Amino acid sequence: MILVTGGAGFIGANFVLDWLADCDEPIVNLDKLTYAGNLENLAALQGEARHVFVKGDICDRALLERLMAKHKPRAIVHFAAESHVDRSIHGPSDFIRTNIEGTFMLLEVARAYWNSLDENAKTDFRFLHVSTDEVYGSLEPNAVPFAESKAYEPNSPYSASKAASDHLIRAWHHTYGLPVVTTNCSNNYGAYQFPEKLIPLVIANAMAGKPLPIYGDGQNVRDWLYVTDHCAAIRTVLAQGRPGETYNVGGWNEKTNLDVVNTLCEILDELSPSSLGSYKRLITYVKDRPGHDKRYAIDARKLEQELGWKPAETFETGIHKTVAWYLDNQPWVDNVLSGAYREWETLNYGLRR
Ligand code: NAD
Ligand code: DAU
């Protein structure tokens, strides 16, 4: 049994689905179901005995203790977080609470549980912390990609909260010996991503005939990785990663935001043409994100050379699959865009116009 936190969100749900398709080991999935958590992502698992879903908060110590005592997991894979940079700028407190205090609580409960195990189980136990390349800060155009040795220079409330959680993870290994591993991954895309993030937002807006908002000049660079490749990397690090180590995960796919949006428009023009002409007509430049990091790029050679992981998808194959998934799953999009999402859209984009 493994304990997954945040397994109803974008990457966590992909991880849970892939894991249960791949092996027999059951999962207990703890998720608070915030606006970003969606049980529809896990609809394929209805009636699946190997998936135990628990609605709850990683800040709830008593709940965490009960879950550890009852399920006795051999590992924790920790995805649960507030994950959207723009939301962290508008309201950082949930980010401090979940990403820092929640990770602290999980570490404390994991430490007590780990101390109660026999020597073999103690050696085999793992706490895998899922983190981000944003902790490293922003790169100049010609600077080398982030290696694991790069100093932390987080710039947004989100990345600062993730950096703080990474430091807690490191310290719990160094001080208490807890067998932790951390992954720092670049921008993910794929099925089930909440349409507040660039790629699903652009697809959803294009389908609705709405503007495709580009922050600033569209020349900021992100390094894109298809979500199932990230999930495969996490499985690899869980199985083979050395306790106390960190592993960068990335797809060697640096693209400007404008290139990504143009590519999305071209695929949509092919798969779902509009009678009004190319979707590129909807591209709209809006006020920049405050403190907007210019460029991220990941050097993933350690993971490749030490543990043999490589991405299976290129950007071209992954982005085609992603657009096709959103076009085939319009009811999923309609459901997540209803209700509270409308308030966020008004808050974030109303101010930029
Ligand atoms: P997401 O926002 O889609 O999902 C987060 C999940 O965590 C949701 O299901 C939510 O309900 C749950 N959650 C939030 N607060 C919680 C709490 N207090 N207790 C229990 N559950 C809670 O996020 P994502 O994009 O799937 O990211 C997952 C993890 O991967 C995060 O830790 C994020 O920092 C990291 N990451 C994301 C990316 C990316 O491109 N999306 C890249 C690198 C790393
Ligand atoms: O790098 C990993 C990180 O990638 C993860 O840790 C975060 O959880 C994840 O949200 C993502 O952060 P970004 O800020 O890079 O992703 P987002 O999709 O919000 O934005 C991608 C780029 O597109 C960024 O440069 C901002 C820009 N953008 C975004 C939105 C939502 C726009 O130009 N317009 C938009 O409307």
The pTM of the full predicted model, rounded to 2 decimals, is 0.98
Measuring CA to CA, which residue among 159, 196, 215, 170 is closest to residue 333?
Answer: 196
Q: Is residue 324 part of a domain?
A: no
Q: Which residue's alpha carbon is at the smallest distance from atom 4 of ligand 1?
A: 9
pLDDT at 125: 98
Edge-to-edge strands of the sheet including 180-185?
Answer: 51-55, 27-31, 2-5, 75-78, 126-132, 180-185, 246-249
Q: Locate the ligand 1 atom nearest the alpha carbon of residue 189 and give its number.
A: 40
Q: Are 244 and 173 in contact (CB under 8 A)?
A: yes
Q: Is any ligand 1 atom within 6 A of the Cβ of residue 57?
A: yes
Q: Is residue 274 part of a domain?
A: no
pLDDT at 353: 65
| Alpha-carbon gap, residue 89 to 6, rounded angstroms | 22
Which ligand sits closest to the CA of 67? 1
Ligand 1 center to 71 CA (angstroms): 23
Domains contained in the chain, number: 1
Q: Is residue 279 part of a domain?
A: no
Encoded tokens for 288? 């920049």
Q: Locate the ligand 1 atom nearest the alpha carbon of residue 83 and give its number.
A: 2
pLDDT at 346: 85
Q: Locate the ligand 2 atom nearest the alpha carbon of residue 131 and give its number.
A: 6
Q: Which residue's alpha carbon is at the smallest distance from atom 21 of ligand 2?
A: 198
Active site residues: 133-134, 158
Q: Is residue 184 part of a domain?
A: yes
pLDDT at 339: 74
Q: Are 84 and 196 in contact (CB under 8 A)?
A: yes
Q: Are 90 and 347 in contact (CB under 8 A)?
A: yes
Q: Is residue 163 part of a domain?
A: yes
First-last CA distance in the chain: 49
| Alpha-carbon gap, residue 334 to 67, rounded angstroms | 34
Question: In terms of residue numbers, what domain contains 239?
Answer: 2-188+226-251+295-313
Which ligand sits closest to the CA of 193? 1
Q: Locate the ligand 2 atom nearest the alpha carbon of residue 220 and give its number.
A: 25
Measuring CA to CA, which residue among 229, 225, 215, 193 is closest to residue 323?
Answer: 193
pLDDT at 203: 98
Measuring CA to CA, which residue among 335, 303, 275, 264 is closest to residue 148?
Answer: 303
Tell me the DSSP string of 3-71: EEESTTSHHHHHHHHHHHHH----EEEEE---TT--GGGGGGGTT-TTEEEEE--TT-HHHHHHHHHHH
Please state whether beta strands 2-5 and 212-215 pair in parallel, antiparallel, or not at all (unpaired). unpaired
Ligand 2, residues at Cβ distance < 6 Å: 83-85, 132-134, 186-187, 197-198, 201, 213-215, 220, 222, 257, 289, 296
pLDDT at 66: 98
pLDDT at 344: 84
Q: Is any ligand 1 atom within 6 A of the Cβ of residue 157?
A: no
| Contact partners, residue 166, CB within 8 Å, separation at least 6 | 129, 131, 135, 152, 182, 184, 246
pLDDT digits (tens, 9 = 90+) for 50-82: 999 999 999 999 999 999 999 999 999 999 999
Q: Is residue 277 part of a domain?
A: no
Q: Is any ligand 1 atom within 6 A of the Cβ of residue 138?
A: no
| Alpha-carbon gap, residue 193 to 153, rounded angstroms | 26
Encoded tokens for 265? 């428009």
| Domain of residue 234, CATH code | 3.40.50.720
- All residue ranges of the chain with pLDDT < 50 are none
Q: Which long-range contacts (CB under 8 A, 24 or more apart) does 273-281 make?
A: 274/209, 276/209, 279/206, 279/212
Helix (H) or strand (E) holding 113: helix 103-115
| Contact partners, residue 22, CB within 8 Å, separation at least 6 | 235
- Biggest CA–CA distance in the chain, Å, is 67
